[in-house]
Amino acid sequence: MKTIGKPVERFEDLRLLRGRGSFVDDQHAEGMLHAAILRSTVAHGRIRAIAVEKARAMPGVHAVFTAQDVAKGGPVPTIPLRLAPLPELVPYEQPVIAQREVNYVGEPLALVVADSPAQAEDALDAIELDLEPLAAVVDCHQGRLAITYTAAKGDALGAQAPYRRKERLAVQRHTAVCMEPRGLLATWDGARAKLTVSGAAKVPFSTRRMLAKNMDLPEECIDMLEPDVGGGFGVRGEFYPEDFLIPFAARRLGRPVKWTEDRRENLLALNHSREMDCEIEILCERDGRIVALRGTAWVDMGAYMRANGSIPPRNVAQFLSGPYRVPNIHVQSHALLTNKTPVGTYRGPGRFEADFFRERLIDMAAKDLGIDPVEFRRRNLPTPGEMPYALATITPPEKKEQLDSGDYAAALDRCVLEFDFEEKKKLQGKLIDGRYHGVAVSCFIEGGAAGPRENARIELDGRGGATVYVGSANVGQGLETVCAQIAAEALDLPMEKIRVLHGSTTHLKEGFGAFHSRSVVMGGSAILDAAQKLKASGARSAEGRSMRGPGTCKWWITSWSRTSVA
């Protein structure tokens, strides 16, 4: 290997460290207007009136849009679920702007477009809003049930064992705070019926598909452009109300419209996650071998089921058993609606909550049974001979998963050895330099490489270099560097001869973005496949020229790859 596995400087860093990055707020367009959003200040309320005449009459204001303008006498468009959609969840989708009532603090009520951000924000204060406060639901146990997921394997409800322990555990609500808040710049070209939106991230092709449907446009009439992105963490780049409102305003006004989120908006409106509690019970033999795991989780979904909000409650049920050998499982996860900011995915949604619940309970069981916590875990890890090992089946819809391969006990032993666990655990509970020390061990599984496909295209530039286009998106994880390494290795070129372009819908006919730890596995595999096809095509071209005799022949190769990785 010439580049893979070797330490290299990241391609992205020099540009960003020198202040030469191009984030969405760095971008400007001729005739650009600025948008500001009026958001609800109450968690639950009925909209009795929104008077916008004064705001529309203010200097520099070009338009004030409400649900009445968006709906045009019909229903307001809603945000569909991108992942794990189900018909029974459609009634809980979020409208892109509040029409009759508001259901969380921060929900959009009106959009002002003006010559400057300051004028747009001043006009928000001139909007006369009559909201009738309604009782807010803040405890998910009092909320409306949207759906219940069940993970089952064996007969956990009827299982018996000499040791049992049941506990109630909880994880608090939180969200990501990216260095760069969200932003959008939308431009409408009426002559060409072309909408261009800069500020796309994570899943630009999916966002384009949703926007096209809600704006009644063919997908090919919309370009989603991915600039530099100051952090993603799973929350950035999903479809939000603003992803409709800003392009809608640009199309209606025939002028470019820009919106940049401030930090307060970011905390109110960006997807939240993690808030859930559970009551789970573990059943074991006296030697610590797990017999069954059963329980119930309650997940606070916030006001709506939007974008990818169904994933946390599904995952916490299906992955509660983690990497362990658990023959009997029955876990129910209730997704409940409250008057809070809607929930989405954030850094291993549902999986890390499940890890906390399970590993905390395992430590309690190990202590009760007098078994070393490392040994307790080692005894319950499936052996290589038991692979693939089935996890619980989740419904609805029915989906089976399994641990496909691996020597988990060997991995645990290597980790304990490298960490010097036996020596470090002597620090347990000791006060050193003003800090109490704690040492613990836990095991978890990381699902990744969500498929089934990704696209890549490679173009040779005729100067000894290549441009690589890939459908994966970059949210700060160093995608350009890794993709350049893969392409350089596959094409036998120096890394500096590789240019990587990613994410934007202008690069490829179809792409699938960055989520579920998939960007390099799927995108990198597509690049590798494309490189192999390009070299094969080049060999055939060279053979053809040789058969024709002396002469010159220029050739251009474009290789598409749709790859599936198990």
Give the angle subtended at the CA of 393 by the CAs of 387 and 396, to the nearest 5°: 155
Residue 106 DSSP SS3: coil
Q: Structure tokens of 545? A: 């020229």
DSSP-derived secondary structure for 450-461? --S--EEEEEE-
| Res 557: pLDDT | 39
Number of residues in the chain: 566
For the chain, which domains are there?
14-135+177-269 (3.90.1170.50), 140-175+271-436 (3.30.365.10), 455-562 (3.30.365.10)
- Contact criterion met (CB below 8 Å) for 487 and 467: no
| Res 543: pLDDT | 58
Q: Kindly report the three-state secondary structure assignment for every residue of 383-425.
A: CHHHCCEECCEEECCCECCEECCCCHHHHHHHHHHHHCHHHHH
- Give the Cα separation of 116 and 33 in Å (integer): 7
Q: Going by C-beta distance under 8 Å and a sequence separation of 6 or more, which residues neighbour residue 226?
A: 200, 201, 204, 473, 474, 502, 503, 504
| Res 565: pLDDT | 33
| Res 562: pLDDT | 47
Give me the residues paired with residue 482 across strands: none
Q: Going by C-beta distance under 8 Å and a sequence separation of 6 or more, which residues neighbour residue 438?
A: 428, 429
| Res 450: pLDDT | 82
| Res 5: pLDDT | 87
Q: Going by C-beta distance under 8 Å and a sequence separation of 6 or more, which residues neighbour residue 230?
A: 23, 178, 179, 180, 476
| Res 559: pLDDT | 43
| Res 506: pLDDT | 96
Pairing state of beta strands 33-39 and 257-260?
A: parallel
pTM of the model: 0.92
Per-residue pLDDT of the chain (566 residues; tens, 9 = 90+): 788 888 898 888 988 999 999 999 999 999 999 999 999 999 999 999 999 999 999 999 999 999 999 998 889 999 999 999 999 999 999 999 999 999 999 999 999 999 999 999 999 999 999 999 999 999 999 999 999 999 999 999 999 999 999 999 999 999 999 999 999 999 999 999 999 999 999 999 999 999 999 999 999 999 999 999 999 999 999 999 999 999 999 999 999 999 999 999 999 999 999 999 999 999 999 999 999 999 999 999 999 999 899 999 999 999 999 999 999 999 999 999 999 999 999 988 999 999 999 999 999 999 999 999 999 999 999 999 999 999 999 999 999 999 999 999 999 999 999 999 999 999 999 999 999 999 999 999 987 788 789 999 999 988 899 999 999 999 888 999 999 999 999 999 999 999 999 999 999 999 999 998 899 999 999 999 999 999 888 766 665 554 343 333 233 334 444 443 32
- Give the Cα separation of 322 and 381 in Å (integer): 10
Sign of CA dihedral 526, 529, 535, 540: negative
- Give the Cα separation of 58 and 45 in Å (integer): 28
